[in-house]
């Protein structure tokens, strides 16, 4: 029986995993219809149509601001969950996920009130009770009624929300459930679940691995095991796609690199995670400046420019700067990769000899090709209010326990030594990198994540 599957893509985060991957193509090939309900530019939909050689029925998704009390209760719930999670895991770094920005009058009122209310929620049951109240209030909103009407008009059988953290889709999911439309969501990133940002409930949850399934059940014990499906994640499907891979010579020519030299990628972090990132790049460039057979490639985090690194880039000629190929938006949700950036990232992981950074996911990307990653593990002398110790205590880094998956650069003086070892004897740097990748991502070596996701949706 033919089904109509609606992919709700509320922000740019879902583009790589669900428009660029083969998810749409597999749904069509299985004889079903695809509807894309999105808040993206129409240009992105056209790109996906051209990529897959299909036509896409697309509808604009309009987000409506939630009333004050819904926002207050939701933030109070998040605050309480973070404190419960920090206590349960004995990990105070989880509290760094609480939103402390007070840059508008509304936030100056909202967040202190949310904190006060959140402090009164001492048990998990009290949090669940407040969240149940949120859902009841949500069903009385204009947004809920409008989404009900839109879903009826689109006549869909399954609503798949591609990003589990977006609060303005709560009314959408509730509207679907009120119409007996099956709802599905996926956990977007390996660090998302401890952050207490799962604002709605679905019939099915797509997770990457056994590890993530256990996390979901720990943080949200009300979600039954049978509602969780392990599918891995489509973002790593591209690393298995021969059409994306370039030869070393072609890649070098495209980006002005010397194919005869060893390439070391310095992968930038955002300014909150690593405020002294430019200094780490300078340390790396300085340590490797005498190595004539090495080129350093620098790629900043895609949601930022390279402005804070510019003086270092000007000074050190052994750095080749390659910009991420992303479309920039007005807010974080409006940023998204062009398809060319996926090819760029895959080929960097394939052809570079190692990657250096402060705790980035790039170590997982590189492990696809069994290439070692090096984590910077020392502070800058002028960083009294920030330390790498906090970064590596983040909950998602507990996935390293019992494994040796990355190399550690414990001082500026170790950079040249550790990079040289990674280049000459890569098997000695993070020998468990593939085991770590399997633990977190758990790919199926016979099916892509895209295929597994479509199978889960169609069931």
Answer yes or no: is pLDDT of 329 > 90.
no
- Domain presence at residue 227: yes
Both 31 and 72 in a single domain? no
- Domain range for 127: 68-136
- Domain presence at residue 282: yes
Answer yes or no: is pLDDT of 97 > 80.
yes
* pLDDT reported for residue 336: 83
Q: Which two tokens stand for residue 2?
A: 């033919």
Both 303 and 206 in a single domain? no
Q: Is 243 exposed, middle or buried (0-12, 13-18, 19+ CB in 10 A)?
A: exposed
Both 149 and 194 in a single domain? yes
> Residue 174 is part of a domain; what is its CATH number?
3.40.50.2000
pLDDT digits (tens, 9 = 90+) for 257-268: 999 999 999 999
* pLDDT reported for residue 157: 97
Q: Which of 426, 428, 303 is nearest to 355 (CA)?
A: 426
The position carrying tokens 């690194």 is 309
Q: Which of 131, 126, 216, 169 is nearest to 6 (CA)?
A: 169
pLDDT digits (tens, 9 = 90+) for 196-211: 999 999 999 999 999 9
Answer yes or no: is pLDDT of 146 > 70.
yes
Average pLDDT of the segment spanning 115-144: 97
* pLDDT reported for residue 455: 97
Higher pLDDT, residue 99 or 400: 400
Q: Which two tokens stand for residue 266?
A: 């310095």
- Domain presence at residue 52: yes
Answer yes or no: is pLDDT of 332 > 70.
no
Answer yes or no: is pLDDT of 334 > 70.
no
Can you tell me the distance from the alpha carbon of 386 to that of 390, in angstroms, rounded to the nearest whole number?
Answer: 8
pLDDT digits (tens, 9 = 90+) for 274-299: 999 999 999 999 999 999 999 999 99
* pLDDT reported for residue 12: 83
Contact, 457 vs 160, CB < 8 A? yes
Please state the pTM of the whole predicted model.
0.95
Both 405 and 358 in a single domain? yes
Both 93 and 48 in a single domain? no
Q: How confident is the model at residue 99 (pLDDT cuts 50, 70, 90)?
A: confident
Q: Which of 265, 418, 421 is nearest to 356 (CA)?
A: 265
According to the 3-state scheme, what is the secondary structure of the chain?
A: CCCEEEEEECCCCHHHHHHHCCHHHHHHHCCCEEEEEECCCHHHHHHHHHHHCCCCEEEECCCCCCCHHHHHHHHHHHHHHHHHHHHHHCCHHHHHHCCCCCCCHHHHHHHHHHHHHHHCCCCHHHHHHHHHHHHHHHCCCHHHHHHHHHHHHHCCCEEEECCCCCHHHHHHHHHHHHCCCEEEEECCCCCCHHHCCCCCCCCEEEECCHHHHHHHHHHCCCCCHHHEEECCCHHHHHHHCCCCCCCHHHHHHHHCCCCCCEEEEEECCCCCCCCCHHHHHHHHHHHCCCCCCEEEEEECCCCCCCHHHHHHHHHCCCEEECCCCEECCCCHHHCEECHHHHHHHHHHHHHCCEEEECCCCHHHHHHCCCCCEEEECCCCCCCCCCCHHHHCCCHHHHHHCCCCCCEEECCHHHHHHHHHHHHHCHHHCCCCHHHHHHHHHCCCCCCCHHHHHHHHHHC
* pLDDT reported for residue 103: 84
- 35-44, 121-130, 203-212 — which is least confidently predicted? 35-44
Average pLDDT of the segment spanning 419-432: 98
Last residue in a domain, options 87, 111, 136: 136
Residue percentage of the chain with pLDDT more than 90: 89
Both 132 and 152 in a single domain? no
* pLDDT reported for residue 331: 63
* pLDDT reported for residue 384: 85
* pLDDT reported for residue 172: 97
Q: Domain tally for the chain?
A: 3
Last residue in a domain, options 77, 111, 136: 136
Q: Which two tokens stand for residue 374?
A: 């090096």
* pLDDT reported for residue 218: 97
Both 290 and 168 in a single domain? no
Answer yes or no: is pLDDT of 333 > 70.
no
Both 127 and 168 in a single domain? no
- Domain presence at residue 324: yes
Last residue in a domain, options 136, 153, 188: 136
Can you tell me the distance from the alpha carbon of 218 to that of 196, in angstroms, rounded to the nearest whole number?
Answer: 12
Q: Which two tokens stand for residue 353?
A: 């000899």
Can you tell me the distance from the alpha carbon of 257 to that of 259, in angstroms, rounded to the nearest whole number?
Answer: 6
Cα R_g (the chain), whole angstroms: 23
Both 106 and 152 in a single domain? no
* pLDDT reported for residue 324: 96
- Domain presence at residue 294: yes
Average pLDDT of the segment spanning 366-377: 98
* pLDDT reported for residue 101: 80
- Domain presence at residue 211: yes
Mean per-residue pLDDT over the chain, rounded: 95
Q: How confident is the model at residue 14 (pLDDT cuts 50, 70, 90)?
A: confident
Both 252 and 316 in a single domain? yes
Both 154 and 34 in a single domain? yes
Both 162 and 273 in a single domain? no
Q: How confident is the model at residue 152 (pLDDT cuts 50, 70, 90)?
A: very high
- Domain presence at residue 413: yes
- Domain presence at residue 237: no
């Amino acid at each position: 029986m033919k089904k109509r599957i609606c992919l709700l893509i509320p922000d740019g985060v879902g583009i790589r995993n669900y428009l660029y991957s083969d998810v749409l193509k597999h749904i069509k090939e299985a004889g079903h219809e695809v509807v894309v309900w999105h808040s993206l530019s129409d240009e992105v939909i056209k790109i996906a149509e051209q990529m897959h050689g299909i036509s896409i029925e697309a509808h604009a998704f309009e987000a409506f601001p939630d009333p004050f009390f819904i926002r207050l209760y939701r933030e109070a719930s998040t605050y309480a969950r973070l404190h419960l999670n920090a206590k349960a895991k004995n990990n105070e770094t989880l509290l760094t996920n609480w939103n402390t920005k007070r840059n508008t009058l509304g936030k100056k009122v909202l967040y202190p009130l949310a904190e006060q209310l959140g402090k009164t929620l001492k048990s998990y049951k009290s949090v669940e009770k407040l969240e149940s109240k949120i859902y009841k209030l949500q069903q009385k909103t204009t947004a809920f009624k409008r989404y009900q009407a839109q879903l009826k008009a689109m006549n869909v059988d399954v609503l798949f929300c591609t990003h589990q953290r977006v609060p303005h889709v709560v009314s959408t999911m509730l509207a679907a459930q009120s119409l007996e439309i099956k709802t599905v969501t996926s956990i977007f990133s390996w660090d998302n679940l401890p952050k207490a940002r799962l604002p709605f409930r679905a019939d099915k949850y797509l997770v990457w691995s056994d590890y993530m399934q256990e996390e979901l059940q720990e943080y949200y014990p009300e979600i039954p095991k049978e509602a969780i499906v392990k599918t891995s994640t489509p973002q790593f499907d591209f690393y298995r796609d021969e059409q994306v891979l370039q030869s070393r010579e072609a890649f070098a020519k495209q980006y002005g690199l010397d194919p005869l030299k060893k390439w070391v990628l310095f992968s930038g972090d955002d300014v909150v995670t690593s405020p002294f990132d430019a200094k780490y790049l300078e340390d790396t460039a300085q340590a490797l400046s005498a190595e004539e057979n090495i080129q350093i490639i620098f790629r900043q985090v895609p949601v930022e420019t390279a402005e804070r690194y510019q003086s270092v880039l000007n000074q050190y000629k052994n750095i080749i700067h390659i910009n991420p190929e992303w479309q920039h938006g007005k807010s974080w949700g409006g940023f998204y990769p062009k398809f060319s950036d996926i090819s760029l990232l895959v080929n960097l992981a394939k052809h570079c000899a190692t990657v250096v950074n402060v705790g980035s996911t790039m170590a997982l990307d590189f492990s696809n090709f069994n290439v070692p990653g090096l984590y910077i593990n020392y502070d800058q002398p002028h960083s009294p209010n920030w330390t790498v110790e906090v970064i590596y205590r983040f909950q998602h880094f507990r996935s390293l326990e019992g494994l040796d998956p990355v190399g550690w650069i414990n001082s500026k003086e170790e950079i040249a030594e550790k990079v040289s070892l990674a280049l000459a004897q890569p098997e000695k740097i993070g020998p468990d990198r593939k085991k770590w990748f399997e633990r977190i991502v758990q790919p199926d070596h016979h099916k892509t994540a895209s295929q597994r996701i479509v199978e889960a949706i169609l069931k």
